[in-house]
Amino acid sequence: METYTVLLPAAGSGRRMGAGFNKLFLEMAGKPILIHTLDVFEQDPDCSGMILSVKDEEKPKIEEMLERFGITKVAALVEGGAERQQSVAACIDAHRSGGIVLVHDAARPFIKRDVIRKLVEVAREDGAAIAGVQVKDTMKVAPDGIVEETVDRSKLWAIQTPQAFRYELLKEASDKAEAEGFLGTDESMIVERLGHPVKVVESTYDNVKMTTKEDLLFGEVLLKQRRQ
Ligand code: CTP
Ligand code: MG
């Protein structure tokens, strides 16, 4: 198994969570969401290092947290940007050693190790692999709330992170996006623009991003289940 480096954007503000501060500091079972996520990679022997992008003013608090919860693999804390893509770009630019890199939202603490393993394997073979689940609901295109068409659901995937890439491919995609002022909602989009194929690896429905209050409730249930 090849090792990988994980890039974790953590410089958001958590507006939709409505806590009034970065949602990654909210605690579940006595530990900040950020630490729950980092722990997955701390415990994974295949993960050789983490690069986090953070807000400058939150850096001391995060450094203190890493120390307190025994997170040792953070190789760099870089300054995030106004958009998620810029925060990821800062991590990409700070990485120097090639190989396979994973981009993973710091707000997704429930990623499973076997999904990570599969992503790394596919990215090593094919360059780009992203985690996703098949959509469960019926999907319709409805601009302005009027149904235009119903989309064939069997072809649709709801895409998550991690997204895994050969480093050189991701770096090229990121530099091109920045030069052209293209802003995507995930890293796959910037790689797709290069014409490079991206493979979807089936993930799990519980790999939720802690986005709104309801996600916290779900998170508590998942943690409780794990402890049983
Ligand atoms: N993120 C980041 N830099 C930004 C925006 C987001 O590093 N400028 C990070 C978040 O910290 C999070 C991940 O990207 O770990 C996914 O973003 P999201 O869930 O949207 O988090 P927030 O942007 O913090 O939340 P919101 O959109 O509700 O404000
Ligand atoms: Mg956001």
Q: pLDDT, tens digit, for every residue of 86-96? A: 999 999 999 98
Q: pLDDT, tens digit, for every residue of 126-172? A: 999 999 999 999 999 999 999 999 999 999 999 999 999 999 999 99
CATH number at residue 72: 3.90.550.10
pTM over 0.80: yes
ipTM, interface predicted TM-score of the complex:
0.99
Question: What spacing in Å lies between the alpha carbon of 220 and ligand 2's midpoint?
Answer: 22
CA pair distance 218, 207, nearest whole angstrom: 11
* Domain of 158, in residue numbers: 4-227
CA pair distance 203, 72, nearest whole angstrom: 27
Distant-in-sequence, close-in-space partners of 119: CB < 8 Å, separation ≥ 6:
102, 129, 130, 131, 162, 163, 164, 201
From 17, 52, 84, 215, the mutation candidate for ligand 1 (largest count of ligand atoms within 8 A of CB) is 84
pLDDT at 1: 65
Instruction: Name the residue type at position 165.
Output: F
Q: How many domains does the chain have?
A: 1
Starting from the CA of residue 16, give the closest ligand.
1
Centroid of chain to Cα 103:
5
* 55 Cβ closer than 6 Å to some ligand 1 atom: no
